[in-house]
Amino acid sequence: MTISASKLNKPEVVEVYTQTALIYDVWGSLTETKARQRALAFAKIKNGEAILEVAVGTGLTFLEILKANPDGENIGIDLTPAMLEKALLKASRSGTTGYKLTIGDAYALEFPAQHFDLLMNSYMFDLLPEKDFPVVLSEFKRVLKPGGRLVLVNMTRAEKLYQKIWEGVYHLNPRWLGGCRGVLLLNHLQTAGFKNIKRAMLSQFGFPSEIISATL
């Protein structure tokens, strides 16, 4: 199955998510809650771990990470300041202080090699050009400890006819879907050398998500 071309460059991603930040959580609760919960189940967080969430967005997953890892190191990065502001607000109300939320780019992580036990990333690869997947996955590998865990969630290719409506929306105007189109990560993870790869696919409101966990 081929993956459609990505349509937004980095400045356009920031522009779209600056406009979307205010209402993103409504979209997230309609279409992404189940996948987010499954990803957290895949992550098997143990309190005290070093955890990085890349593309933390408004902090919907990050808040759950903080609850599960109050005594650990919790770092979230994102390209879009407006999304990060929302995440900061959620984190400040969480009662946990062991976190850092900062601007950062998945293509060039400003962290030392082999630092994190777990890296989580949701609904970001579906914005990126497929040719860049290996670049970003190699950054993810670099910052994970040996044996470290990676958990990804993405909009994926529709398997049922009714799920194809979202691909249709993307083709009409990619910005209406925040630039997200269905992608498939499994082969890329295998090529990048990840092991113990597990994939689940589920849909909410007809929006198809894949949840993948893997280890180094």
Residues that bind ligand SAM (CB under 6 A): 13, 17, 28, 54-55, 57, 60-61, 77-80, 83, 105-107, 122-124, 127, 178, 180
Distance between CA 21 and CA 146 in Å, rounded? 35
User: In this structure, is the dihedral angle defined by the CA atoms of residues 61, 137, 151 and 185, taken in order, positive or negative?
Assistant: positive
| Closer Cβ to ligand SAM, 24 or 194, answer by number | 24
Given the complex with ligand SAM, which of 1 and 108 has the nearer CB atom? Answer: 108
Q: Which is nearer to ligand SAM, 60 or 195 (CB)?
A: 60
Which phi and psi angles does 155 have, rounded to 5°? -65, 135
Coarse DSSP helix, strand, coil percentages of the chain, rounded to the nearest 5 percent: 40, 25, 30
**Cβ distance 153 to 209 under 8 Å?**
yes
Tell me, what DSSP letter sits at residue 133? H
The minimum distance between CB 11 and ligand SAM, in angstroms, equals 11
CA distance 118 to 74: 10
Residues in the chain: 216
181 neighbors 126 (Cβ within 8 angstroms): yes
Sheet holding 73-78: strands in order across?
A: 99-103, 73-78, 50-54, 116-122, 144-155, 207-215, 195-204
- Residue nearest to ligand SAM according to CB distances in the complex: 57
Q: At what angle do helices 10-20 and 81-92 cross, to 10 degrees?
A: 50
